[in-house]
Chain A
Amino acid sequence: MILEAGVGALADGSPAIPTRLESIGSKIPERILTTEELMESTRHHPHIELERLTGIHQRHVCSEGEDSFTLAVGAARDCLAHSRHRPEDIEMLINCSISRYKDGLRHQWEPPLSLGIKDAIGANKAISFDISNACAGMMTGVFILHDFIRRGVIRRGMAVSGEYISSLGQNAAKQVHWVLSNQLASLTLGDAGTAAIVERADSDTDHISVAAFATLSEHSRLCLGAPSHVGPGASMFTKARTIHKVAISESPPLLKEALDAAGLGFGDIDYVIPHQTSARAIERGAKEIGERLGMQAKRVVVTVNEFGNTSSTTHFVALRKYLGEKRFKKGDTIMLISFASGLEVGVLIFPIEEILDRYGNEN
């Protein structure tokens, strides 16, 4: 994998500066769409027990006036509200969303959405740009920030994403005929925004242990999202079972490489947060990976039942939820695992320490 440890030396031999996640924010739309309601809206009324198959009971979806931009801005504000930093302290802002809808389902190609986000939150001094890396977007943004900070180029930055992707579900509902439809995965999607501030760490222990990515591009054409031809927004076509199969079969050596770099075993991880596609797939996949790695993680986080698959934001939706619910304790080790179209395999391992204090956790 392309891997950067938390400590160590840079190419010129100078020591790398440790980094950490300082704050995490989210913006979840209030409106809830249950799986039952979504399946009732399908045009062809296929007899698919989607909730039983995926464990997804509901997802949150945008209402009038909400879109990728408003979700991203809302998440950035929530992130800043839990941060020690002011907006003008942010030196780099990366928008990581696949969907770039502003003013409803108007996809903005230029200027980049990051420009409007930094204006809206007042991060006037930040370098800004967008990246796109499917559901690995937020983790890729954090990886880039980690690299800039550890070399001392910037002191802190924000990765942010707003995913307004429920239109894919609406468009799929017009076309899905049966359980093997290549648009079935679109019915699992939900809307959400997330943001994370990464900063220089001043601790020997409270820092990102490892950030790593590899793209297994022989599988790059297993999922496609593009503007829809059946209605506003986009459509997505996926060979979901194949993606899951290759991700689980080909990722263990990569995950082991990242764990080795962190000096950890899979059994040392207190919370594994994988990309949230379906509860069954997560539980089965984590078990298989554990068997391949010779030990099981202590806990595997599942939030897809409540939020659906929120694309690039899933890991940080889960982190924000667990921080808010005070479910972590100081010293817990977290491992984010990204499996995204591409096929992107990404890992971020870090401890939960000082960040807990800013979410009212006294444990």
Chain B
Amino acid sequence: MGTKIDAVGTSRPHLRIGGMGAIKLADEAAHACLERAGRSAAELDFLINAGVYRDNNIGEPAVASMIQEDIGANPDPPLQGGHGTFSFDVVNGACGVLTGMHILDGFLMSGAIDLGIVVTADADPERGSNWDFPFGLVGAAGRVSRSHSRFPFAPVGGAVLLSRSEDEDKGFSRFAFSTYSEFKHLLEAEMRWQKGPIPRAVADRVPGLEPGSNVLRIQEREGYAARAAECAATSARAFLESAGLEPLDIDLLVPSPTPAGFPDAFSQALGVPADRVARVDESFGGVHTAGPIAALEGVMRTGQFGDARNVLFATVASGITVGLALYHP
């Protein structure tokens, strides 16, 4: 008995003017995933959002609860006999989707739930417009919460639907996470107050405010991809050894597509042939937390995923954090 992947879905902006916020992207990815699996949102017991960069950098509520409402996953109190849906956010950089799947695997294996979904999306926080909050000042709050320069990640949403397999040889067999904090400076994202002029719309309405705004800064430093590959290879060797496998036993490698160059550097360092690496279609651009889902979608479409015996998920994130999972389709 293991946790199996029923379907995945991705989404990208289709609004040319203004773009799309992360919440809307996550909503659409979840819809696509559920439709592909032939399941309804009402069947979901658990929803985890793993996106980092969200509409206007919302801290509360959990973005997952808004996605749950948007897609209609038991937004109202459960009726007698039903148990509703539980949702919250995981924040673990580009390893967040794998962390979400690790948590869902647990609740599936415990028997507490039958169906769960991990959704994610990152988009320039300034783009978020899917609010529907009943607060007048919120729009202004969002507009002056700025990104310091071009947002570095492509706006992409992803969703992966998980359930329990009755076949004990199928599904996830193990997860592992490790961190290398000596390299934590190589990818950092922060938001802090930066002094500057107050937008007139705000100054007119609320005089005497502190001049400035909260600004998001994301900085990837030189050498991140190479270090990430080294750390991931070190962790993966130990992981495979503990599973009694050699790198060549891996039929399919699903790596984080970013940082740029990571999939090739990692697969070479580990010794997995390049033709066994799941790659993300270039049209996606530099996808962040949805990366493994975008990679998975491609190999599910070609049949490479279904034909594999041993699939290794390998994600890397700021920290440096390495997430690994072994899956048997």
| Tally of A interface residues using CB under 8 Å | 78
Bound Cα distance from A130 to B179, whole angstroms: 14
User: Are A111 and B78 closer than 8 Å at their CB atoms?
Assistant: no
Q: How far is the CB of B70 from chain A (nearest CB, A)?
A: 9
User: Are A215 and B86 closer than 8 Å at their CB atoms?
Assistant: yes
**Residue among B60, B85, B90, B135 with max Cβ neighbours from chain A (10 Å):** B60
Q: How far is the CB of B300 from chain A (nearest CB, A)?
A: 25
Bound Cα distance from A303 to B96, whole angstroms: 35
Q: Which of A16, A43, A106, A110 contacts B317 (CB 8 A)?
A: A110
User: Are A111 and B318 closer than 8 Å at their CB atoms?
Assistant: yes
Q: Which of B1, B68, B133, B179 contacts A11 (CB 8 A)?
A: B1
Residues of A within 8 A of B202 (CB): 229-230
Any chain A CB within 8 A of the CB of B271?
Answer: no
Given A111-B187, A174-B206, A215-B86 in contact, is the A98-B144 Cβ separation under 8 Å?
A: no
Within B194-217, the residues touching A (CB, 8 Å) are 199, 202, 206, 208-210, 212-214, 216
Q: Which of A222, A229, A342 contacts B62 (CB 8 A)?
A: A342
Can you list 14 A-B pairs, Cβ within 8 angstroms, ordered by A?
A11-B109, A111-B184, A112-B93, A112-B318, A115-B184, A131-B89, A174-B209, A215-B65, A224-B60, A224-B135, A229-B209, A235-B137, A341-B61, A342-B88
Q: Which of B57, B85, B103, B110 contacts A226 (CB 8 A)?
A: B57
User: Are A217 and B110 closer than 8 Å at their CB atoms?
Assistant: no
Residues of B within 8 A of A132 (CB): 59-60, 62, 88-91
One digit per residue, 1 when the CB lies within 8 angstroms of any chain B CB and 0 when it does not, for chain A 89-133 equals 000000000110000111111111001101100000001111111
User: Are B110 and A11 closer than 8 Å at their CB atoms?
Assistant: yes
User: Are B59 and A98 closer than 8 Å at their CB atoms?
Assistant: yes
Q: How far is the CB of B136 from chain A (nearest CB, A)?
A: 8
Given A1-B83, A43-B208, A110-B188 in contact, is the A227-B214 Cβ separation under 8 Å?
A: yes
Interface of B is mostly: mixed
Residues of A within 8 A of B93 (CB): 110-112
One digit per residue, 1 when the CB lies within 8 angstroms of any chain B CB and 0 when it does not, for chain A 43-66 equals 100000000000000000000000
User: Are A150 and B133 closer than 8 Å at their CB atoms?
Assistant: no
Within B84-102, the residues touching A (CB, 8 Å) are 84-93, 95-96, 99
Q: How far is the CB of B46 from chain A (nearest CB, A)?
A: 6
The 4 A-B residue pairs whose C-beta atoms are closest, nearest first, are A225-B60, A11-B111, A227-B214, A232-B193
**Residue among A12, A116, A118 with max Cβ neighbours from chain B (10 Å):** A12
User: Are A227 and B57 closer than 8 Å at their CB atoms?
Assistant: yes
Q: Which of B47, B66, B144 contacts A221 (CB 8 A)?
A: B66
Any chain B CB within 8 A of the CB of A240?
Answer: no
Any chain B CB within 8 A of the CB of A206?
Answer: no
Bound Cα distance from A235 to B193, whole angstroms: 13
Interfacial residues, chain A to chain B (CB-CB below 8 A): 1-4, 9-12, 16, 43, 98-99, 104-112, 115-116, 118-119, 127-136, 140, 144, 147-148, 150-151, 153, 174-175, 182, 213-218, 220-237, 239, 250, 253-254, 340-344
Any chain A CB within 8 A of the CB of B267?
Answer: no
Q: How far is the CB of B217 from chain A (nearest CB, A)?
A: 9
Bound Cα distance from A282 to B18, whole angstroms: 44
User: Are A131 and B88 closer than 8 Å at their CB atoms?
Assistant: yes
Residues of A within 8 A of B95 (CB): 129
Residues of A within 8 A of B60 (CB): 98, 132, 134-135, 223-226, 236, 341
Given A12-B1, A111-B318 in contact, is the A226-B86 Cβ separation under 8 Å?
A: no
Residues of A within 8 A of B131 (CB): 221
User: Are A3 and B65 closer than 8 Å at their CB atoms?
Assistant: no
Q: A2-B46, A129-B92, A221-B133 are in contact. List 12 more A-B contacts (CB 8 A).
A: A12-B109, A131-B88, A135-B60, A140-B88, A147-B110, A215-B68, A217-B69, A223-B60, A226-B58, A232-B192, A232-B212, A344-B61
Given A110-B188, A214-B86, A215-B85 in contact, is the A133-B62 Cβ separation under 8 Å?
A: yes
User: Are A224 and B192 closer than 8 Å at their CB atoms?
Assistant: no
Given A11-B1, A226-B58, A342-B61 in contact, is the A217-B87 Cβ separation under 8 Å?
A: yes
Residues of A within 8 A of B92 (CB): 112, 129-130
User: Are A115 and B209 closer than 8 Å at their CB atoms?
Assistant: no
Q: How far is the CB of A180 from chain B (nearest CB, A)?
A: 13
Chain B: interface residue count, which band?
A: 35 or more
User: Are B214 and A110 closer than 8 Å at their CB atoms?
Assistant: no
Nearest to A252 among chain B residues (CB) is B77
Any chain A CB within 8 A of the CB of B305?
Answer: no
Bound Cα distance from A12 to B110, whole angstroms: 8
Any chain A CB within 8 A of the CB of B292?
Answer: no
User: Are A224 and B138 closer than 8 Å at their CB atoms?
Assistant: yes
User: Are A227 and B145 closer than 8 Å at their CB atoms?
Assistant: yes
Nearest to B140 among chain A residues (CB) is A229
Q: Which of B91, B110, B192 contacts A150 (CB 8 A)?
A: B110
Q: How far is the CB of A64 from chain B (nearest CB, A)?
A: 16
Bound Cα distance from A228 to B206, whole angstroms: 13
Bound Cα distance from A116 to B99, whole angstroms: 18
Any chain A CB within 8 A of the CB of B164?
Answer: yes
User: Are A153 and B164 closer than 8 Å at their CB atoms?
Assistant: no
User: Are B62 and A134 closer than 8 Å at their CB atoms?
Assistant: yes
Residues of A within 8 A of B52 (CB): 109-110
Q: Which of B109, B213, B319 contacts A111 (CB 8 A)?
A: B319
Bound Cα distance from A161 to B97, whole angstroms: 22
Nearest to B195 among chain A residues (CB) is A232
Residues of A within 8 A of B209 (CB): 174, 229-231
Q: How far is the CB of A283 from chain B (nearest CB, A)?
A: 24
Q: Which of A215, A228, A234 contacts B87 (CB 8 A)?
A: A215
Within B21-69, the residues touching A (CB, 8 Å) are 45-47, 52-53, 56-62, 64-66, 68-69
**Residue among B76, B134, B192 with max Cβ neighbours from chain A (10 Å):** B192
Residues of A within 8 A of B268 (CB): none
Q: How far is the CB of B82 from chain A (nearest CB, A)?
A: 10
Bound Cα distance from A224 to B132, whole angstroms: 11
Residues of A within 8 A of B109 (CB): 10-12, 151
Any chain A CB within 8 A of the CB of B123?
Answer: no
**Residue among A131, A153, A226, A235 with max Cβ neighbours from chain B (10 Å):** A226
User: Are A214 and B193 closer than 8 Å at their CB atoms?
Assistant: no
Bound Cα distance from A337 to B36, whole angstroms: 37
Q: How far is the CB of B319 from chain A (nearest CB, A)?
A: 4
Q: Which of B84, B112, B218 contacts A215 (CB 8 A)?
A: B84
